[in-house]
Chain A
Amino acid sequence: MSAEPLHDVGLVVNGAAHSVRVPARRLLSDCLRHDMRLTGTHVGCEHGVCGACTVLLDGEPVRSCLLLAVSVDGHEITTVEGLAGLTGELSPVQQAFEDCHGLQCGFCTPGFLTTITAGLRATPDPTEDDAREMIGGNLCRCTGYQNIVAAVLRAAELSR
């Protein structure tokens, strides 16, 4: 079996241009994690259910385990590594997770952070129901979600 053909893919990740040569079947999650070594994005289920691998594609949350890297050539990606400010200050969502004990093992956390970052752009002043709706597609096995809901509300407060 001969070597797979490779494809050039250019991505702007967290504001920096990256170019990689990858097989067509390379998942965006693997491309980010293993080719670009941005390992903050985690993979929990490989079939789009848990949301741990959520990144922002041109600002919109997507499951990077369900996308091929070649299919997003030329697009902008934001991962958890790109949420903090340039000088390292935490974003309101990151700060809120720290303030509210919104994480335990931290494995699912990057997917929540990116999801909520996008969610608060669309709904800057969420009610508790909005907060629950916002995170309703992400799985966490540690926290029981109580403090993640609190973190969404806290992040909204910090953003005001």
Chain B
Amino acid sequence: MTKMFGEPIKRVEDRRLVTGAGAFLDDLGHDALAAALVRSPHAHARIVDIDVTAALDVDGLVAIYTYDDLTGPLADPLPLLIPHPALTHGRTAYALARDQVNHVGEPIAMVVARDRYVAEDAAERIAVTYEPLPAVVGIDAARAAAHLVHDDVPGNVGARMMQEYGDAEAAIAGAPHRLTLDLTVERSASTPLETRGVLARWDNESQRLRLWSSTQTSTGLRAAVAAKLGLDLTNVEVITPDVGGGFGVKIMHPWPEEVLVPMAARALGQPVKFTEDRREHFIAAAHERAQQHHVEVGFDDEGRLLGLHVTFWHDHGAYTPYGLIVPIVTSTQLLGPYKPGAYRVEFESLYTNTVIVTPYRGAGRPQGAFVMERTLDAIARELRLDRVAVRETNFIQPDEMPYDFGLTFQDGRPLVYDSGDFPASMEKLKKLVGWDSFEAFRAAARADGRQVGIGLACYVEVTGVGPYVGGHVLIETSGKVKVATGLTTQGQGHQTVFAQIVADELGVRMEDVEVVTGDTRRFPYAVGTFASRAAVMSGSAIALAARAAREKVLRVAAEALEADPKDLEIVEGIVRVKGNPGAEIALGTVAVLSNPLRYAFDEASKAATQFAVGDPGKPPVAEDDEPGIEGRDYYSPPHATFANGMHAVIVETDPDTAEITILKYCVVHDCGNLINPRIVEGQIHGGVAQGVGGALYERMAYDEHGQLQNASFMDFLMPYVTEVPRGIEIDHLETPSPLNPLGIKGAGEAGVIPSAAVFASAIEDAEGFPITAMPISPSDLFALRQQNQEGSR
């Protein structure tokens, strides 16, 4: 039987999705009432009055809710999901604004009506009187603190945090060379094609709530909704339907709508649905990326980092429901594959009157990679050294693994790299992109009047963070294998890769394995899908669960076949005695034998009658046993596993228009053992495309009043096919993780992490002046050229 692990198997998800049979959130609940939200048009204002009178005679209106209608825990601020001692001034919003709004898009009232058209009719007739306040927009304004977002948060500072090892200040002071850099990254956002959405159905007879949400965490949402609605956890079920992309934004929970919609469904006794529209997703979901960084670095003649001191300012928007995850990731993952002699990092996390910030694919790592890689390029430039050489000088070597920095990661665990071979990856990348022959290419291009540049960037990514994930494997009497895991799926192909794992572990056919994710009825314990953790965490848990099931299969089958379990093998769903043709039993029959029922009702039961298992002197279900073939296990690693990679890009910049064209894009990627190379490459392609967007096109264009000027797909420039590289060359290095049973590491976010860094490197190489802020548009580049020309006059 062919091993499934490692094979580029076609996805089992696709048949439904290409025939229109997918079931996304808004495809459900045709009988549901529709919700629409009245949202603040002001970035910062006091609410003076809400007058709903004009909305009341809208035909089809069912209910209007404002803050005054919220009771019990619903009237409290939404939870601060991930507290941290450094987050001394954490603030969260109310589900509906109480007396103040702090960003455009903050919800003030919820309307429930016959359909969304009618709900919007009513929403626009609700008159809210505001007393506008000065808006704090952008990091400069937040730091200046001429105005405060929250009156009780001095200086707009939500958190201050510092980590260090060694004495960076002294190391820098004593270094032969020193540089300072100021580096900026602007706001962007996950922007999945499917917006947020939630559907709630309250069953009055059983007093149970069933909730569907386009979420990255059904279990987290379940607990949050139970707490907010005062329900016992067992009376709340959360089901994740097909989710049309997440990229981080859907890990945030509970969104205001996720508690308001079930509240209304319970109050009205009818199903209620909210489907976010595109403008709402821009102004009422979450953004990321905006940070300013100041770097002081000391280095020797070879470019060795002796001391690195990074200070940065993180714009977390109006509230901090997701804690300090993003800036902590930046502060730790900034180090990448390098080992500065001493390191000090400190940041301030700042309030602004803009949309909240929660992780977006990469989650602070793109900024960290940008800072470190820009610094190394600046050192190479200063010392007139090859950029590769400077990186090689600073690499952690394979024989130094596991490598402990003495720092603490965002999960509270020590930052210890488990594996990776950075020099080998760099060799592969140099070959792939043609690093050593680039100068000849540049000269040839120059002779044609063309301007080209090459850039490279490296990263290390913490993947598969804890605390744990569980898996459940059940073998039915039909021989079919039902697998469940608690975390959710947004297009990563989990149903395929988890089935591959189970098929191998159990010796069954892929088509006999069915995988369910994100349904709390099937598996109530989990955290969620984020931090490139699903394959590592659920994959490992499911493998362990399958092994437990296999052990029981072999035990029961050995008894039935009167053989030693060690002599058995399972091939295509049949347990057989090795080297003894005919001595075999189907998995389904083993499932029957494992469950001493009184009743027989299928073919497997009939087949089972020819075998005898169980000790007549003992109870039918022995003390240490249970009926059925099931495996349930959890994977909880001591700390996360570290994937890594290196990207290189060759760009051409138009001498007249400053247009930036990608000539070649190369990726060397190490995510340990590959479960399905086709899916891993797909993840890389998608990450690179998002990275191109983030580096060259996408920014949240807020004006000084906190109005988002580009809150539509017409104006927020996501890449079409015309903007992505024509071909992405990929090479894999597989250094298996020693931390989990499959030797795998995460792959989901990798493609996007080094993008801003690699493009800045290449554009700087083409233009000959420093690139210190991303994204960079042709107009930005054009302006930079003029500044640099003026500067050099």
A residues adjacent to B (C-beta < 8 A) = 1-4, 23, 25-26, 33-34, 37-47, 49-50, 52, 79-81, 83-84, 88, 90, 94, 97-99, 101, 103-110, 113, 128, 132, 135-149
A39-B27, A101-B679 in contact; A141/B14 too (CB < 8 A)? no
Q: How far is the CA of A109 from the CA of B720 in the complex (A)?
A: 14
Q: Do B24 and A80 touch (CB < 8 A)?
A: no
Total of A-B residue pairs, C-beta within 8 Å: 180
Q: How far is the CA of A146 from the CA of B243 in the complex (A)?
A: 21
Q: Do A80 and B193 touch (CB < 8 A)?
A: no
Contacts beyond the supplied A34-B115, A107-B245: 4 A-B pairs with Cβ under 8 Å: A40-B19, A44-B278, A81-B19, A105-B490
Q: Do A38 and B194 touch (CB < 8 A)?
A: no
In the complex, which residues of chain A have a beta carbon less than 8 angstroms from the beta carbon of B685? 143-147
Whether B448 is near chain A, meaning CB under 8 Å from some CB there, is no
Whether B207 is near chain A, meaning CB under 8 Å from some CB there, is no
Main secondary structure of the interface of B (DSSP, over half): loop
Q: Do A104 and B22 touch (CB < 8 A)?
A: no
Q: Do A1 and B11 touch (CB < 8 A)?
A: no
* Nearest CB of B to A32, in Å: 10
Q: Name the one of A3, A128, A141 contacting B247, with C-beta atoms under 8 angstroms.
A: A141
Whether B655 is near chain A, meaning CB under 8 Å from some CB there, is no
Q: Do A101 and B11 touch (CB < 8 A)?
A: yes
A44-B193, A107-B245, A144-B689 in contact; A1/B59 too (CB < 8 A)? yes
In the complex, which residues of chain A have a beta carbon less than 8 angstroms from the beta carbon of B115? 34
Q: How far is the CA of A123 from the CA of B690 in the complex (A)?
A: 29
Q: How far is the CA of A28 from the CA of B10 in the complex (A)?
A: 34
Q: Do B688 and A47 touch (CB < 8 A)?
A: no
Q: Do B713 and A49 touch (CB < 8 A)?
A: yes
B residues adjacent to A (C-beta < 8 A) = 10-11, 13-24, 26-27, 30, 57-60, 115, 117, 121, 191-194, 242-245, 247, 277-278, 490-493, 678-679, 681-682, 684-690, 712-714, 718, 720-722, 724, 726-728, 751
Q: How far is the CA of A24 from the CA of B415 in the complex (A)?
A: 60
In the complex, which residues of chain B have a beta carbon less than 8 angstroms from the beta carbon of A83? 19-20
Q: Name the one of B30, B491, B682, B718 contacting A34, with C-beta atoms under 8 angstroms.
A: B30
Residue of A nearest to B58 (CB): A1
Q: Do A108 and B491 touch (CB < 8 A)?
A: no
A46-B278, A47-B712 in contact; A107/B193 too (CB < 8 A)? yes
* Nearest CB of B to A26, in Å: 8
Q: Name the one of A47, A98, A107 contacting B713, with C-beta atoms under 8 angstroms.
A: A47
Q: Do A90 and B19 touch (CB < 8 A)?
A: yes
Question: A79, A83, A109, A142: which has the most chain B beta carbons within 10 Å?
Answer: A142
In the complex, which residues of chain B have a beta carbon less than 8 angstroms from the beta carbon of A136? 720-722
In the complex, which residues of chain B have a beta carbon less than 8 angstroms from the beta carbon of A47? 278, 712-714
A3-B59, A40-B21, A101-B682 in contact; A106/B728 too (CB < 8 A)? no
Q: Name the one of A41, A42, A79, A148 contacting B244, with C-beta atoms under 8 angstroms.
A: A42
In the complex, which residues of chain A have a beta carbon less than 8 angstroms from the beta carbon of B60? 3
Q: How far is the CA of A23 from the CA of B690 in the complex (A)?
A: 39
Residue of B nearest to A111 (CB): B193
Q: How far is the CA of A86 from the CA of B510 in the complex (A)?
A: 27
Q: Do A141 and B18 touch (CB < 8 A)?
A: no
* Nearest CB of B to A21, in Å: 14
In the complex, which residues of chain A have a beta carbon less than 8 angstroms from the beta carbon of B492? 104
* 20 sampled A-B residue pairs with Cβ under 8 A: A34-B30, A39-B27, A42-B244, A44-B244, A44-B713, A47-B713, A47-B714, A83-B20, A97-B14, A97-B18, A98-B14, A101-B682, A104-B492, A105-B194, A105-B242, A106-B242, A107-B22, A107-B244, A132-B721, A141-B191
In the complex, which residues of chain A have a beta carbon less than 8 angstroms from the beta carbon of B277? 46
Q: How far is the CA of A109 from the CA of B242 in the complex (A)?
A: 13
Q: Name the one of B26, B191, B245 contacting A105, with C-beta atoms under 8 angstroms.
A: B245
In the complex, which residues of chain A have a beta carbon less than 8 angstroms from the beta carbon of B243? 105
Residue of B nearest to A105 (CB): B491
Q: Name the one of A40, A101, A107, A135 contacting B194, with C-beta atoms under 8 angstroms.
A: A107
Q: How far is the CA of A2 from the CA of B278 in the complex (A)?
A: 29
In the complex, which residues of chain A have a beta carbon less than 8 angstroms from the beta carbon of B17? 103, 106, 109
Q: Name the one of A1, A37, A40, A108 contacting B193, with C-beta atoms under 8 angstroms.
A: A108
Residue of B nearest to A110 (CB): B20
In the complex, which residues of chain A have a beta carbon less than 8 angstroms from the beta carbon of B21? 40, 81
Residue of B nearest to A91 (CB): B18
A34-B30, A90-B19, A107-B194 in contact; A148/B59 too (CB < 8 A)? no
Q: Name the one of B27, B59, B242 contacting A33, with C-beta atoms under 8 angstroms.
A: B27
Residue of B nearest to A128 (CB): B726
Q: Do B278 and A45 touch (CB < 8 A)?
A: yes
* Nearest CB of A to B23, in Å: 8
Residue of A nearest to B682 (CB): A101
* Nearest CB of A to B47, in Å: 25
A42-B244, A81-B19, A90-B19 in contact; A143/B117 too (CB < 8 A)? no
Q: Name the one of A25, A26, A41, A144 contacting B688, with C-beta atoms under 8 angstroms.
A: A144
Q: Do B722 and A132 touch (CB < 8 A)?
A: yes
Q: Do B720 and A139 touch (CB < 8 A)?
A: yes
In the complex, which residues of chain A have a beta carbon less than 8 angstroms from the beta carbon of B714? 47, 49
A105-B194, A135-B721, A145-B689 in contact; A1/B57 too (CB < 8 A)? yes
Closest 8 CB pairs of A and B: A40-B20, A105-B491, A107-B244, A106-B17, A144-B689, A144-B685, A39-B27, A104-B491
Residue of A nearest to B684 (CB): A144
Q: Do A138 and B19 touch (CB < 8 A)?
A: no
In the complex, which residues of chain A have a beta carbon less than 8 angstroms from the beta carbon of B16? 106
* Nearest CB of A to B21, in Å: 7
In the complex, which residues of chain B have a beta carbon less than 8 angstroms from the beta carbon of A88? 19
Q: How far is the CA of A19 from the CA of B279 in the complex (A)?
A: 32
Q: How far is the CA of A50 from the CA of B20 in the complex (A)?
A: 17
* Nearest CB of B to A39, in Å: 4
Q: How far is the CA of A149 from the CA of B24 in the complex (A)?
A: 25
Q: Do A44 and B194 touch (CB < 8 A)?
A: yes
Q: Do B193 and A139 touch (CB < 8 A)?
A: yes
* Nearest CB of A to B85, in Å: 36
